[in-house]
Amino acid sequence: MQRKPYIRSRWWEDIPVGEFHVFGSHTFSELEIIEFGERYAPEIYHTDPVAARDTLHRGLVASGWHLTATWMRLMVDYMERFARGVRDGRRNGAGMGLEDLEWFVPVRPGHTITFTYEITEKPERVVRDRWGIIRSRNEAYNQYNELVMRFNIDILAERNPGVEDGGALAE
């Protein structure tokens, strides 16, 4: 029986458009929201549960960048589970850029956020001779099934050096 290839050990050529993953869920505690706020976003509506009540947010809310950072953590953990034994840092692609990042509703202490990932496009472009681009649409939902965040991101994946590229544009 042939074993399924691990997700992160696949070449760019072998990653299909349309692939969909649920990275998992995370419950944001009051303490975590405050800790992130104190380090990266020291606004009272991220750091002081009592004073936050008197702001337009009417209570503590998580920083939008706390959500994107948590998305990253769940993606890394998810990919690790499918990449056991792969410890080759060269295979880890960098993020190139993102588009249409939007936050729709606040995340408050105790909210559980579920992160989904769908590969939407593989632009035909070669970056630094060895990388291809995987474009994905990423969504985050709270426990009420409300969309709380959405963005599209381009992440590099290593192209198979054994495959001649079919006229792709070199950068």
Partner 1 sequence: MSRYWSDLQPGETFATGQLTLDREAILDFAAEFDPQPYHLDNAAAEDSIFGGLCASGWQVTALMMRLLTDTLHQQGVPVMGIDSVPSLRWKAPVFVDDTLQGKVTIRGGENNSRQAGCGRTHMDITVHNQDGRPVIELNAVLLVAHGEHSDAA
Positions that interact with partner 1 (CB under 8 A): 40-43, 45, 54-57, 61, 63-66, 68-70, 72-73, 76, 87, 89-90, 92-105, 128, 131, 151, 156
* Minimum CB distance to partner 1 smaller for 3 or for 128: 128
Residue 150 and residue 140 in contact, taking contact as beta carbons nearer than 8 Å: yes
* Minimum CB distance to partner 1 smaller for 92 or for 114: 92
* Minimum CB distance to partner 1 smaller for 22 or for 39: 39
Residue 41 and residue 143 in contact, taking contact as beta carbons nearer than 8 Å: no
Rounded distance, CA 171 to CA 168, Å? Answer: 9
Buried b (16+ CB within 10 A) or exposed e, 55-93: eeeeebbbbbebbbebbeebbeebbeeebeeeeeeeeeb
> Closest distance between partner 1 and the C-beta of residue 1, in Å?
31
Longest dimension (CA), the chain: 62
> Closest distance between partner 1 and the C-beta of residue 69, in Å?
4
* Minimum CB distance to partner 1 smaller for 23 or for 151: 151
> Closest distance between partner 1 and the C-beta of residue 111, in Å?
16
Placement of tokens 């750091």 in the chain: 47
> Closest distance between partner 1 and the C-beta of residue 131, in Å?
7
